[in-house]
Amino acid sequence: MTISEKLSALRANMKARGIDAYIVPSGDPHQSEYMADHWKSREWISGFTGSAGTVIVTAGHAGLWTDSRYFIQAAEQLKGSGIELHKLKIPHTAQHRDWLKGHLPEGSKIGFDGRVFSVGKVRSLAKFFYGKKFVFDTETDLIGGIWKDRPPLPKEPVFELPVKYAGLNRKAKLKQVRAKMDGASHYLISTLDDIAWLFNLRGRDVECNPVFYAYAVVGEKKVWLFTETKKVSGKLKKKLNNDGIIIKPYKSLQGFLQKLPQSASILVDKNSTSNRVFNAIKKERIRDGKNIVRALKAIKNKKETGHIREVMAKDGAALVKLFRWLESTLEKRPVPECEVAEKLIAFRRAQGNYFGESFPAIVGYQANGAIVHYHAEPATCASIEKKGILLLDSGGQYLDGTTDITRTIALGRPTGEQKKDFTLVLKGHIALAMAKFPAGTTGVQLDTLARMNLWQQQMNYGHGTGHGVGFFLNVHEPPQGISPRSSVALQPGMLTSNEPGLYKAGKYGIRTENLVLCAEDGEEGEFGKFLRFETVTLFPIDLSLIAKNMLSKEEKNWLNAYHEEVFEKLSPRLDRAEKAWLKGKCGRV
């Protein structure tokens, strides 16, 4: 079916149910950022493959709302589709709910699949539309009725993450959760990465994210894990049973919740629980709560932080091999962007404990680097030559940790403009890396440090400066972040990215990204406890792109010390030629 045919079929279904507007978000029943192909309804109806966006279809209009990371990509993918691009957070551009409020008459019926909307989102919409007397139809998946070749739900086996990597066993983690249930008899968990972390289990249901589709209910003595029973081997099931965990079919959750005893009280996080599941619970049994596991998971334990430092060293070694190979190959021939991504996977796989990419690598040569979430396709990818600059954003999933690193490198003689832009971004990166701040400081407060040098030149970037990172879990892990919207306080043990950037459409993109661990900065003093960041990513920053006269003495000292650490920790993993190459890249400024 063409996009036009899909829209026509959807509109016919809408008309049959008296629906005036249908919302298709990016999401699944677990409020996941990344999901199995079965749940990619927005991608199917629109042809837009970015990870964030919302489609709205009415009788006379179809629109996609997405943010600045995807403006260029969305404009290209929507060409000729009949779907209009609406750019979020641009002056005079309405968000999708504002658009609905302004374009639909009073009493209109709005439809959406209640399985993929959290109850919090549904209530937020109801509050926002108050006075318009809109009616919600949340019970029907109109996309499913027309998506004839829809991929089935994945059935990949679940496997156990050994305690030597996880640091805590299941019983210890469950004890932590029960201590925070605030007197509730049951606690419902819907988010996939939280379930994987709590049970020390992993899966292959979602590309690049080692999770599996499941729900969990923690009781005072028993625990129920709802997943496809065939995904759990007999041996693993026995181990889980020994820890008080009962395996039940994935689709039996709602019936289970409805049959809980009258005395049961169920702790529910409305922002991570689907509207459909929430409505299966009797209202008098619900207790509002926050996501307990998310907060526990964000603070890495000592065993995890030890593995994180180790995994960064082997990931850095893989990147040395990759960039050395690229330099050598460019002396002989151009290199397609796709080949770089494939080669990097091979180098990472050779490091041991490798599971896969933590996200599809972004290999952006020249103008492609300005597309923040660019994905090279074999048929259309650019050929890299010995000129211009290349942005490479990539990451690996290992049993002993998750990595995410971006480097921008010059492949020829950089221009003065490129060096100035690169150095402005680097100054922001270093400012954040060197920051010391009082306990309780939030990401929104720290975000300014990374942007201030760009702001002075009336420049900016549209994405956040940092996101949380999981431990052999999702590369984007809430709750913390560093952005104009990050209200969560940073705490020791949190692993976060530091990735300011600058993007000039049609020319090039620049981003420098390391992962940083939040740590205590000495003993608590007169003004309370202070925190700092430990940079754990290990790979040199391209010296040829730096305008050295723009760096302060303190910034130069930081960069020199960082390069010394990079060489010290990576060189034992390299052969003689690779060490010599790395030594040349770790020079002083």
CATH number for 56: 3.40.350.10
| One domain, residues 330 and 253 | no
**N-terminal to C-terminal alpha carbon distance within the chain:** 57
Instruction: Give CA–CA dist 463/28, Å, rounded.
Output: 23
State the total domains in the chain: 3
Indicate whether 570 belongs to any domain.
yes
| One domain, residues 260 and 172 | yes
Q: Which residue, chain included where needed, has tokens 């052969």?
A: 575
Closest CA to 64 of 86, 33, 49, 92: 86
Q: Which residue, chain included where needed, has tokens 């999901």?
A: 35
Q: Which residues contact 149 (CB under 8 A, 6 or more apart)?
A: none
Read off the pTM: 0.95
What pLDDT score was predicted for residue 223? 99
Indicate whether 153 belongs to any domain.
no
| One domain, residues 254 and 277 | yes
Give me the CATH number covering residue 443. Answer: 3.90.230.10
H, E, C per residue of 256-275 = HHHCCCCCCCEEECCCCCEH
In sign, the C-alpha dihedral spanning 470, 476, 482, 486 is negative
SS3 content of the chain, % helix, strand, coil (to 5): 40, 20, 40
| One domain, residues 228 and 164 | yes
Indicate whether 151 belongs to any domain.
no
| One domain, residues 245 and 195 | yes
Instruction: List beta partners, residue 577.
Output: none
Q: Is the peptide bond before 484 cis (omega within 30 degrees of 0)?
A: no
Query: Is the distance from CB of 31 to CB of 47 less than 8 angstroms?
Result: no
In sign, the C-alpha dihedral spanning 34, 39, 44, 46 is negative
CB-facing half-sphere around the CA of 47: CA atoms within 13 A: 22
What pLDDT score was predicted for residue 72? 84
Indicate whether 150 belongs to any domain.
no
| One domain, residues 272 and 333 | no
| One domain, residues 426 and 441 | yes
Query: Is the distance from CB of 187 to CB of 177 less than 8 angstroms?
Result: yes
Kindly compute the dihedral angle of the four CA atoms of residues 84, 85, 90, 96, in this order, to the nearest 10 degrees: 70
442-to-300, 448, 481, 507 alpha-carbon distances in Å:
18, 11, 8, 34
H, E, C per residue of 530-567 = EEEEEECCCCCCCHHHCCHHHCCHHHHHHHHHHHHHHH
| One domain, residues 548 and 571 | yes
Listed residues 231, 266, 293: the one ending a domain: 293
| One domain, residues 309 and 269 | no
| One domain, residues 240 and 314 | no
Indicate whether 578 belongs to any domain.
yes
Indicate whether 531 belongs to any domain.
yes
Listed residues 116, 145, 174: the one ending a domain: 145
Instruction: List beta partners, residue 229.
Output: none
Closest CA to 144 of 117, 122, 115, 121: 115
| One domain, residues 68 and 194 | no
Instruction: Give CA–CA dist 166/170, Å, rounded.
Output: 10
Give every residue of the chain whose pLDDT is below 50, as ranges. none
What count of other Cβ atoms lies within 10 Å of the Cβ of residue 352?
11
Listed residues 278, 293, 308: the one ending a domain: 293
Closest CA to 32 of 206, 156, 166: 206
At residue 351, what is the residue type? Q
What pLDDT score was predicted for residue 69? 85
Indicate whether 441 belongs to any domain.
yes
Burial state string for 531-560 with b = 16 or more CB within 10 A and e = fewer than 16: bbbebbbbbbbbbebbbeeebeeebeebbe
Residue ranges of alpha helices (H) inside 389-526 are: 416-433, 443-456
Indicate whether 32 belongs to any domain.
yes
* Secondary structure of residue 392 in the 3-state scheme: strand
Q: Which residues contact 199 (CB under 8 A, 6 or more apart)?
A: 170, 216, 225, 240, 245
Closest CA to 227 of 208, 207, 244, 245: 245
Measured in degrees and rounded to the nearest 5, phi and psi for residue 116 equal -105, 5
| One domain, residues 271 and 417 | no
Of the chain, the percentage scoring pLDDT greater than 90 comes to: 96
- Show the domain range for 62: 3-145
E strands along 261-385, which residues?
266-268, 286-288, 335-336, 354-357, 362-365, 383-384
